[in-house]
């Protein structure tokens, strides 16, 4: 065993045996300053306890699979360096606000349902034939929605949102940010198909602007901004004469 | 259908795996500095509403004429008013600061920077405060 180690405390939950989650500690060699929390979990899985369950894939902050609570903060574990925690223990728990399936694996069905409900794709009233050429956009038109398109669906924003934690009917940050991403896209014509979902009581109006969703986003997306601006836009559509026009 | 097949058909489907449901802890708002500040921000509206209700009572009392009106001036009320003023200032500060995130518009096809929007909100707040103070002082001297 190398001299330098770090203690990793991970949530364990076996639905067939445990009534509730428990914590288990592991001593992991801390051999390299570039090690991240996901490396420590992989070491546990490979060398100490193969039954530990968690999600991961790309290991480079793109796929959004490895989101967990690290010392109480939602983080991508592939982007949380052990050097920022050592010599204190690292406490790894499943994302807050979601049901736990096993160990560090949460049930993401609710998020997937919400994501689909806002139709996160370009909607055209009538598709142009391929021969008509591409849909051209200026840099300014892309700048309107670019930051919202950076979302990787990692759900850290949902884990940080106390409104969602108290009421999981709330549409939530990432789904609204993606709805805004498409509503602001000059190629899209699906605003009226998304408005009923955004405008219902559990849609944007449930948000009371805690703002933590934007703080924890690993990709610099500002979902709180998307929600507040959508509130303003939908209000203007209601208040202004001819505001409901496309 | 054979007996074996019938038995197989009537066998109940295996139960879905049990999940552990999320329960929000009652002290969630103490677990993070931002949650705490958010809760304070939302809470400040409550004493402010109480003070405004009191103001309505005072306005009604003042309706009897200046000769029969004496403003409420107990020490407790003065302290309460000062605390409410601090809450109102904090609430206004947070509200106007967030305006930079909420308001978005373009001038000459360029988006107006959030900082400029916030500054304009604070400038409007200061101007409105000066006007209100002037009106109150002017009426007091009449």
Residue A16 touches partner B, C-beta closer than 8 Å: yes
The answer as to whether B8 is a domain residue is no
The answer as to whether B87 is a domain residue is yes
What is the rounded distance in angstroms from the CA atom of residue A75 to the CA atom of residue A157?
A: 10
Please report residues of A whose CB lies closer than 8 A to that of B17.
15-16, 101-102
Closest CB to A211: pick one of B18, B29, B34.
B34
The CATH number of residue B58's host domain is 1.20.1300.10
Asked, colleague to colleague, whether A5-106 and A109-239 share their fold, the answer is no
User: What per-residue confidence (pLDDT) applies to B7?
Assistant: 46
Tell me the two tokens of residue A227.
């929600």
Q: Which residue in A237, A232, A175 sits closest to A203, CA to CA?
A: A175
Looking at every residue in chain B, the average pLDDT score rounds to 86
Output A138 or A3, whichever has higher pLDDT. A138
Is the CB of residue B30 less than 8 Å from the CB of residue B36?
yes
Residue A222: is it exposed, middle or buried by C-beta count within 10 angstroms (0-12/13-18/19+)? buried
Under an 8 A CB cutoff, do A99 and B29 touch? no
Residue-by-residue DSSP string for A16-48: TT-SS-EEEEEEEE---TT-BHHHHHHHIIIII
Tell me the two tokens of residue A118.
């806002």
ipTM (interface pTM): 0.88
The answer as to whether B122 is a domain residue is yes
Q: Where are any strands of DSSP class E within A46-167?
A: 67-70, 73-76, 90-93, 100-102, 105-106
Please report residues of B whose CB lies closer than 8 A to that of A166.
24
Under an 8 A CB cutoff, do B102 and A162 touch? no
The answer as to whether B16 is a domain residue is no
> Residue B8: is its pLDDT beyond 60?
no
Looking at every residue in chain A, the average pLDDT score rounds to 94
User: What per-residue confidence (pLDDT) applies to B105?
Assistant: 83
The answer as to whether B7 is a domain residue is no
User: What per-residue confidence (pLDDT) applies to B74?
Assistant: 87
| Beta-bridge partners for A76 | A67
Tell me the two tokens of residue B35.
């949650």
Class of domain A109-239: mainly alpha
pTM: 0.88
Integer CA distances (angstroms), B112 to A78, A208, B71, B95, in order: 36, 24, 46, 19
Question: Which residue of chain B has the CA closest to A22?
Answer: B20
Domain covering A5-106: architecture: Roll (3.10)
Straight-line distance from the first to the last Cα atom of chain B, in angstroms, rounded to the nearest whole number = 102
Under an 8 A CB cutoff, do B103 and A232 touch? yes
> Residue B5: is its pLDDT beyond 80?
no
- As a whole number of angstroms, the longest Cα–Cα distance in chain B is 104
Domain that holds residue B46: 28-62+73-141
Please report residues of A whose CB lies closer than 8 A to that of B98.
209, 228
Q: Where are the domains of chain A?
A: 5-106, 109-239
pLDDT in tens, A11-59: 999 999 999 999 999 999 999 999 999 999 999 999 999 999 999 999 9
User: What per-residue confidence (pLDDT) applies to A77?
Assistant: 98
pLDDT in tens, A75-124: 999 999 999 999 999 999 999 999 999 999 999 999 999 999 999 999 99
| Beta-bridge partners for B106 | B111
> Residue A166: is its pLDDT beyond 60?
yes
Question: Which residue of chain B has the CA closest to A107?
Answer: B19
What is the rounded distance in angstroms from the CA atom of residue A70 to the CA atom of residue A76?
A: 9
Residue A55 touches partner B, C-beta closer than 8 Å: no
Chain A nearest-CA distance from B81, in A, is 27
Tell me the two tokens of residue B74.
């107990």
Please report residues of B whose CB lies closer than 8 A to that of A168.
22
Per residue in B117-137, is it b (16+ CB within 10 Å) or e — as a string? bbeebeeeeeeeeeeeeeeee
Question: Which residue of chain B has the CA closest to A103?
Answer: B20
The answer as to whether B4 is a domain residue is no
Is the CB of residue A122 less than 8 Å from the CB of residue A182?
yes
Task: Point out the least confidently predicted range of A17-31, A61-75, A130-144, B11-25.
Answer: B11-25
Straight-line distance from the first to the last Cα atom of chain A, in angstroms, rounded to the nearest whole number = 66
């Amino acid at each position: 065993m190398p001299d330098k180690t770090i203690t990793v405390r991970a949530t364990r939950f076996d639905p067939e045996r445990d009534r509730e989650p428990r914590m288990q500690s592991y001593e992991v060699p801390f051999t390299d300053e570039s090690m991240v929390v996901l490396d420590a979990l992989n070491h546990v899985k490979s060398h100490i306890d193969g039954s530990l369950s968690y999600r991961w894939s790309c290991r480079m902050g793109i796929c959004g699979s490895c989101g967990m609570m690290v010392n109480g903060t939602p983080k991508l574990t592939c982007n949380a360096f052990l050097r920022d925690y050592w010599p204190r223990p690292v406490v790894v728990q499943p994302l807050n606000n979601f049901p736990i399936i096993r160990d560090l694996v949460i049930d993401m069905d609710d998020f997937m349902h919400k994501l689909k409900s806002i139709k996160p794709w370009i909607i055209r009233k009538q598709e142009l034939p391929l021969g008509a050429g591409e849909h051209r956009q200026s840099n300014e038109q892309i700048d309107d929605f670019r930051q919202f398109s950076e979302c990787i669906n990692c759900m850290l924003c949902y884990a940080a949102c106390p409104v969602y934690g108290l009421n999981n009917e709330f549409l939530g940050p990432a789904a609204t940010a993606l709805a805004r991403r498409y509503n602001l896209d000059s190629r899209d014509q699906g605003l009226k198909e998304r408005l009923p979902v955004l405008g219902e009581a559990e849609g944007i109006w449930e948000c009371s602007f805690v703002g933590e969703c934007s703080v924890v986003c690993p990709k610099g997306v500002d979902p709180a901004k998307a929600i507040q601006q959508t509130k303003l836009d939908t209000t203007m559509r209601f208040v202004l004469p001819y505001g409901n026009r496309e | 259908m054979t007996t074996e097949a019938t038995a197989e058909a009537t066998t109940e489907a295996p139960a879905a795996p049990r999940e552990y449901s999320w329960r929000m802890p009652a002290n969630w708002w103490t677990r993070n500095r931002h949650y705490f500040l958010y809760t304070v921000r939302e809470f400040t509206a409550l004493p402010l509403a109480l003070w405004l209700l009191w103001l309505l009572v005072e306005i009604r009392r003042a309706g009897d004429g200046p000769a029969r009106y004496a403003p409420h001036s107990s020490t407790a009320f003065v302290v309460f008013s000062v605390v409410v003023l601090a809450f109102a200032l904090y609430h206004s500060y947070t509200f106007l600061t967030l305006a930079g995130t909420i308001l978005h518009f373009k001038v000459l096809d360029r988006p107006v920077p959030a900082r400029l929007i916030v500054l304009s909100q604070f400038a409007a707040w200061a101007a409105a405060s000066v006007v209100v103070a002037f009106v109150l002082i002017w009426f007091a001297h009449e």
